[in-house]
Structure 1
Amino acid sequence: MDSEFLEIPNMEDIVTAPEPEPEPPRLTQSHSDVHARLSAPLEKYTLYETKTRLYIVASNAREVQFKVMEIDMTGPKQDLTLIVDPAVYTRAEVMDVLGHMEEEGGGNLTKRLTAWGLLGFIRFTDGYYMVVVTKRSVVALLGGHYVYHIDKTEMIPLSRGGDEGKTKSKSADEARYMSIFQSLDLSKTFYFSYAYDITNTLQRNMEREKRDDDSDDEEIHSFNHMFIWNHHLLRPVEEIMDNVFEWFLPIIHGFIDQAKINVCGARSVYVTLIARRSHYFAGARFLKRGVNDRGNVANEVETEQIVADLVTSSFHDKREGIFNSPRYTSYVQHRGSIPLYWSQDVSNMTPKPPIEINLVDPFFASAALHFDDLFKRYEAPILVLNLIKSKERTPREGKLLREFSQCVEYLNQFLVQRGKKHKLQYTHWDMSRASKSRNLEVIEFLERYSTTVLEKTGFFHNSKGIQKGICRSNCIDCLDRTNAAQFVIAKKALGYQLRALGIVSDVNLSYDCDAVNLLTEMYHDHGDTIALQYGGSHLVNTMETYRKINQWRSHSRDMLESIRRFYSNSFVDSQRQEAINLFLGNHVFEQNKPRLWDLPSDHFLHNNYYFDNYYLRRSYIFWWTEINLLVKKYEKYVRRKKELQIMPVSEITEPLNFPGSDQKEPVMEVLEDKLDALVSYIPPYPGFFDNYWNECYKPRSLSSFHKVFAYNMNSTSRYNSDDNPFRPRKEIKGLEDITEDKKVSEVPEEVSKIPDDPLITIYKYTLQAMA
């Protein structure tokens, strides 16, 4: 239902307000039953206020279940007084509650606004503000769950007290803090979802659903804190509320895009790209380099490529079982700054400031923490692709090359005892030199390397197989060269994913077919977004540069972006860094302590040298955490919950007894509620809903094609009338096949059962110098 929540001008309207649709079967018929639970996540928030109170009435997508929150605006400004009503109301019941509120407020209950999400609370020098999402747009659809981009937000002050004791200087500080906070534009590249956990990978989300209900692994049942950018805004309510994420949304910062490959007019394959930026060591390019004392690197981004054959939209399959649809695949890559203590001084106003290694650690303790975390998140093997320069007239990147090589060599010497598969598999290749040479081919090397990567890590295929390991790519900025390398690996992964879905029989896709052109466009936007967030400009060198095509045409664009990046790094980065530090809670205002703009440096905001002993007392020899190297027993969860198959209503006749529950009631008569009971009753980790039929397929709701996201999605069919998206669009004569992976290494055993398709080939792109 798209209409806004009903206005309440007087009591008569409240009493006679019509109900738009019949209520679904409820677990309780009275709002006094505080144990009632929502059958779908809260999605719409209507804010009402009186002179002393702020009321938030939240509803699900169909607006048939409601919850109420009350905020007292008369208390001390340093305190947040918040009361959450545990009851779940019907529409009629919530109207009665609002009528009672209006009576208590003396008829002064007025509607403030309608929001689509609550992000949390922030306080500077005075009272609290609440940050809400007031405008959103759909950017992706996964498993029937929409993913949204934040288009507009609003800050609502929660203080109604007087200004006693408030000096002019404090008011000026409050205004300046507010200005800094709002300079971080939340309407650019911030994303959320009501029902799908976008902070975790698809593999982790599916693994979570297939775990035993009594699993003691708390991390698997929670959002990934590394990517929750509003974590600081949620801290004030974490001590007040047990179910924070029932009311508040976790948001990520990065990039999300989705496009569709139409295969011969008969099948549709959805390609989704999700880039999650870590908030642990976040900041602007020249102000955040290398690693901090906790092992967090600058510009750390996890990129996931989800390829799905959406014959049906949900994660469930009638044959395989709940959350076991084999139509979903994914592949994950990682980028991050070189994990050493290094920096660049921008005070001399040069486009390429000299690189300085600030701290030489013979034990590489922070790098050890970083790689240990990669083992924890992705398992072994860890493939490290280092793309920085090796030969320079004035040594810059070469300093880091020697130190990084020594770092990996030092850490590897102790991993030998744990087996070869746990060693960091390090590869250095001077990509910049290759791109400028007439004798070296960038694409040719990356094609061979991408085959090696896919053979060693595999990819996630729901109910069939998993990805174990990660490819960690970096150049000096982790922008241009890194994005090009990740694209080539992603192209190879796309071939494997399409082959696993039965779409193609050869994993080697032509660079100029519609499918790869679509992927190229997506990764170009992906790289541009990451570059803007970190470097302040778009990509300087694109795939055209590294494929050595259209070089003269792109030269002027590359120069312009270089100038923009230099300007941003010289004049804008410090303001961006202040906004990031304030938003993430790296700096919190305290009386009699320096204000944010008075700090000479933010180094100690990101590094703590007086800290807990956990990081100080790590062994310099056994630098890893043993449990992170153990093989995760995921295989036993691949087929988990197959017994919970989707069945006709007539076949579900016995009561359901949920694990850890005293519930003995028969299943409700409606199939929707049967599936809701089967799917949603999981020990309460944040966001455990899977009511895709309520979110994607709203019953009794009029829709049209121009409003349907999937209909308006970018697609291969928009560019060519040819229905085959894997046929090359450019005829390149006289060029031999450079499918080097066929010559150098064999296709992995698990994907070598299907014969090769002669229509799908890869060509070597060697163009003669332009006249």
Structure 2
Amino acid sequence: MSQLHQRLQLYTQGNDTYIFVPPDTVGAQSLTIHRSSGELVLNPPHSLPPSARRSGKILHGILGIISLSLSDYVVVISEREFKGRLLGHDIYRATDFELLPLSQNINVANPPHPVEAHLIALVRSHLLGGSFLFSYDWDMTRRLQAQWETREQDTSKAFWETADDRFFWNKFLQTRLIELTMGNASQNLSSYILPIMYGTFDLRNAVLEGRSLQICLISRRSRFRAGTRYFRRGIDHDGHVANFNETEQLLLVEDPAAGAAGVDAGTQMSFVQIRGSVPVFWAEVNTLRYKPDLQVMDLQETADMMRKHLQEQVSTYGEQALVNLVNRKGYEQPVKEAYERYVSQITLPGVRYQYFDFHNECKKMRWDRISVLIDELQTDLQRYGYFCLTANRPESVKLQRGTVRTNCMDNLDRTNVVQAALAKWTLNEQLTSVGILPEGGSIDSYEALAKDFREMWADHADAIANAYGGSGALKSDFTRTGKRTRMGVMEDGVKSSLRYLKNNFFDGARQDGFDLVTGNWDQRPLITRSMPFTVSVSLFMICAGLTLPRTSGKAPIIRSFIGLSSGSLTLALSLAFIVLHGVDYVSWPRLVPSTEYIYYKGPGFRSGQHGKGFGGEDKPKTRIGTSISLKWLNHRKRVSVAVMEEGQKKRVD
């Protein structure tokens, strides 16, 4: 397996080329990218042109190449943070990035066109706002059992070839390097193709009963159907679900016979869980109300897509216990009923549905009632097991033969609580199996370890919730302390308010960053665009009428009263208009239309038709803020949009 270059020295040759030189690898081939043609060429060792000028920048990897409207850009990691050492391998998080334009006329700091400036800002915001993890010699995208099962085949493969396609976050950006490597044996760029994953990594050391151990928690976010809370829900037409995360808890225990070799030479154990959106076609349509309109779409292909999704999980992980935490009453009930209706239509061996009425069982802050669900899953957990490997035995001791797939509405807060409880139950079982805990013992008897465990899971929950929902996880006080508190309830209120603001007014741009396409048009009617300005003027009139000094006499008083009355009336009418046309004021993604579910009129369930104005449900089916037809949505493949600006044709991929 070819080794990845850990450091790259950047050279430039005028405005013609970028040259990446690995300074730490003797005899390594440098990589030249020609700016005018975009051609990538591996150079013979020690063949740096005399005219090449050293830039002074040490880079830590190439993420790939992205095409925007005016230029292609090489995306590189300019700064990294050491996160820990796992099984002898260094793990890093990328903390800063640079975009190197191929066009000689582009200045990233001052782009020549506002569309290009906007796209660059989207890319940078996405990269800086995410948690991107990587290692140069250990596959962060794959769980321990998967790496062990393919260890012999992987020796002849490049590093990027072994990565899990779901969690290879920059796979699209690396397309050009991968295609060149596969199509030309003399131009093998594998040492430059660095896979990164979007997720979390936390590693804690502990000593228990005289034994050294490490607990590591890794979450991996799928790049398929990725995005933000209200703009990526349910399943798509490829069987991918929103907010799919694989979470792996690793336990490394020192072997007393190994002496100073430490935990790396001892017992290695892995327990994997997954989460993902309810696998039916559903959405929530923001209307500026606190609760969006709930839309469940009964499409002809729903059962087939659910079957495809679950078959993939069975093929990857083994048996499945589908734990559904969606409320059985009220707003969430239609999603629960749709899930149960379709899962009953498909009969798959090794798949079992388990409903748990979370809010009813745990009401009045009785969070200890999670034990009821664990009791119901205990037979499954024992049968599925966990992966276990010891250094003194070449074969595995145990394989994990199934996973629990947990979901609530967002796959965030309730899901986090349940996954942490299942992970704790399994950790107790693992520590008992190696003789550290007595039969029936618990880490709760060891406060330092219990505290580390709770903090790891709470931090993990906050990271996933921030990436998808825009705030830290709710109910995290229980995960962090083991108790549900009134202060925690108040903090949840603040987090919910923050989610409301971000989901309605900021997530459109965040979703655009995920989608990495183009467009920033605002073609709403003039009256719609003018309402926020009208509100501002009305507030000014009211404030002026209340605060400005008045002269004596009836006329000024009457004028003040008229100003206050007209300002208040205008304000009321403007706010009413905004609420009535709420969908026009939500920050929708501008790059991938949301029309498919905003104006859906097929069979299914709709909780309301708010925010569309009078006769809103009969509006033309065009995306909010653009004139793109609904037919655009039917193209499942990557599309190109030609935009004519100032007489120049600009390509947008």
Q: TM-score range by the shorter chain?
A: 0.7 to 0.9
Aligned to 2:22: 58
Aligned to 1:398: 333
The one-letter code sitting in structure 2 at the alignment partner of 1:58 is P
Alignment pair present for 1:354 and 2:293: yes
Q: Deviations over 1:611-666 (max 9, x none)?
A: 69xxxxxxxxxxxxxxxxxxxxxxxxxxxxxxxxxxxxxxxxxxxxxxxxxxxxxx
**Alpha-carbon separation, structure 2, partners of 1:154 and 1:177:** 14
Q: Deviations over 1:201-249 (max 9, x none)?
A: 110111111459899xx99962111111111211122222244442121
Aligned to 2:422: 489
| C-alpha contact (below 8 Å) 1:141/1:147 kept by paired residues | yes
The one-letter code sitting in structure 2 at the alignment partner of 1:42 is H
As a proportion of its length, which structure holds more helix? 2
Aligned to 1:525: 459
Mark the CA change 1:171 to 1:112 in structure 2 (over 3 Å): closer, same or farther: farther
**Alpha-carbon separation, structure 2, partners of 1:355 and 1:465:** 44
Alignment pair present for 1:182 and 2:182: no
Mark the CA change 1:550 to 1:424 in structure 2 (over 3 Å): closer, same or farther: closer
- Of 259, 280, 298, the residue aligned with 1:340 is 280
Aligned to 2:407: 474
Alignment pair present for 1:383 and 2:350: no
Q: Deviations over 1:444-498 (max 9, x none)?
A: 2133245333212110012211111111000111011000000011001112222
Mark the CA change 1:611 to 1:548 in structure 2 (over 3 Å): closer, same or farther: closer
The one-letter code sitting in structure 2 at the alignment partner of 1:241 is T
Aligned to 1:248: 193
Q: Which has the higher contact order (CA 8 A, sep 6+)?
A: 1
Aligned to 2:496: 562
Mark the CA change 1:254 to 1:214 in structure 2 (over 3 Å): closer, same or farther: closer
Q: Deviations over 1:317-352 (max 9, x none)?
A: 99xxxxx966211010000000011111111x2222
**Alpha-carbon separation, structure 2, partners of 1:564 and 1:366:** 34
**Alpha-carbon separation, structure 2, partners of 1:206 and 1:515:** 28
The one-letter code sitting in structure 2 at the alignment partner of 1:597 is R
Q: Helix, strand or coil: the match of 1:67?
A: coil
**Alpha-carbon separation, structure 2, partners of 1:135 and 1:605:** 42
Give the 5 Å matches for 1:460-471: 460-462=387-389, 463-471=396-404
- Of 496, 504, 513, the residue aligned with 2:437 is 504
**Alpha-carbon separation, structure 2, partners of 1:502 and 1:575:** 52
Mark the CA change 1:211 to 1:267 in structure 2 (over 3 Å): closer, same or farther: same
The one-letter code sitting in structure 2 at the alignment partner of 1:480 is D
The one-letter code sitting in structure 1 at the alignment partner of 2:275 is R
Q: Identify the range of structure 1 (529-538 vs 123-132) with the bigger mean alpha-carbon deviation.
A: 123-132
| C-alpha contact (below 8 Å) 2:63/2:77 kept by paired residues | yes
Aligned to 1:47: 10
| C-alpha contact (below 8 Å) 1:281/1:292 kept by paired residues | yes
| C-alpha contact (below 8 Å) 2:455/2:480 kept by paired residues | no
**Alpha-carbon separation, structure 2, partners of 1:598 and 1:45:** 34
Displacement after TM superposition at 1:159 (Å): 2.7
Q: Deviations over 1:254-289 (max 9, x none)?
A: 11111112124x432111111000111011101111
Aligned to 2:307: 368
**Alpha-carbon separation, structure 1, partners of 2:176 and 2:315:** 29
Aligned to 2:393: none
Give the 5 Å matches for 1:185-204: 185-186=127-128, 188-204=130-146
- Of 366, 369, 373, the residue aligned with 1:446 is 373
Q: Helix, strand or coil: the match of 1:183?
A: helix
**Alpha-carbon separation, structure 2, partners of 1:273 and 1:606:** 43
Alignment pair present for 1:459 and 2:349: no
- Of 215, 218, 227, the residue aligned with 2:167 is 227
Mark the CA change 1:72 to 1:219 in structure 2 (over 3 Å): closer, same or farther: closer
Displacement after TM superposition at 1:578 (Å): 0.6
**Alpha-carbon separation, structure 2, partners of 1:545 and 1:222:** 34
Mark the CA change 1:554 to 1:224 in structure 2 (over 3 Å): closer, same or farther: same
Displacement after TM superposition at 1:609 (Å): 4.7
Alignment pair present for 1:81 and 2:39: yes
| C-alpha contact (below 8 Å) 1:43/1:59 kept by paired residues | no
Q: Helix, strand or coil: the match of 2:138?
A: coil
- Of 239, 251, 256, the residue aligned with 1:307 is 251
| C-alpha contact (below 8 Å) 1:189/1:254 kept by paired residues | yes
**Alpha-carbon separation, structure 1, partners of 2:6 and 2:479:** 44
Q: Deviations over 1:132-164 (max 9, x none)?
A: 11111122322211111111111112232699x
Give the 5 Å matches for 1:112-191: 112-160=56-104, 171-186=113-128, 188-191=130-133
Alignment pair present for 1:238 and 2:238: no
Mark the CA change 1:444 to 1:307 in structure 2 (over 3 Å): closer, same or farther: same
Give the 5 Å matches for 1:684-699: none
Give the 5 Å matches for 1:291-330: 291-310=235-254, 327-330=267-270
Q: Helix, strand or coil: the match of 1:287?
A: coil
| C-alpha contact (below 8 Å) 1:299/1:335 kept by paired residues | yes
As a proportion of its length, which structure holds more strand? 2
Q: Helix, strand or coil: the match of 1:285?
A: coil
Mark the CA change 1:501 to 1:278 in structure 2 (over 3 Å): closer, same or farther: same
Alignment pair present for 1:273 and 2:217: yes
Displacement after TM superposition at 1:389 (Å): 0.9
**Alpha-carbon separation, structure 2, partners of 1:404 and 1:546:** 31
Mark the CA change 1:234 to 1:310 in structure 2 (over 3 Å): closer, same or farther: farther
**Alpha-carbon separation, structure 2, partners of 1:221 and 1:456:** 32
**Alpha-carbon separation, structure 2, partners of 1:423 and 1:530:** 28
Mark the CA change 1:398 to 1:508 in structure 2 (over 3 Å): closer, same or farther: farther
Q: Deviations over 1:422-457 (max 9, x none)?
A: 242111011112221478842321332453332121
Displacement after TM superposition at 1:50 (Å): 1.9
**Alpha-carbon separation, structure 1, partners of 2:363 and 2:31:** 61
**TM-score of the two chains, using structure 2 as the length reference:** 0.73
Aligned to 2:345: 410
Mark the CA change 1:515 to 1:352 in structure 2 (over 3 Å): closer, same or farther: same
| C-alpha contact (below 8 Å) 2:243/2:468 kept by paired residues | yes
| C-alpha contact (below 8 Å) 1:291/1:298 kept by paired residues | yes
**Alpha-carbon separation, structure 2, partners of 1:367 and 1:459:** 26
Aligned to 2:511: 577
Unaligned runs of 5+ in 1: 1-36, 319-323, 416-421, 590-595, 613-771
The one-letter code sitting in structure 1 at the alignment partner of 2:306 is A
Aligned to 1:262: 207
Displacement after TM superposition at 1:64 (Å): 4.3
**Alpha-carbon separation, structure 2, partners of 1:369 and 1:325:** 40
Q: Identify the range of structure 1 (50-59 vs 548-557) with the bigger mean alpha-carbon deviation.
A: 548-557
| C-alpha contact (below 8 Å) 2:204/2:216 kept by paired residues | yes
Give the alignment's Cα RMSD to 1 decimal.
3.4
Q: Helix, strand or coil: the match of 2:137?
A: coil
**Alpha-carbon separation, structure 1, partners of 2:313 and 2:422:** 19
- Of 26, 30, 49, the residue aligned with 1:68 is 30
Q: Helix, strand or coil: the match of 2:166?
A: helix
| C-alpha contact (below 8 Å) 2:79/2:96 kept by paired residues | yes
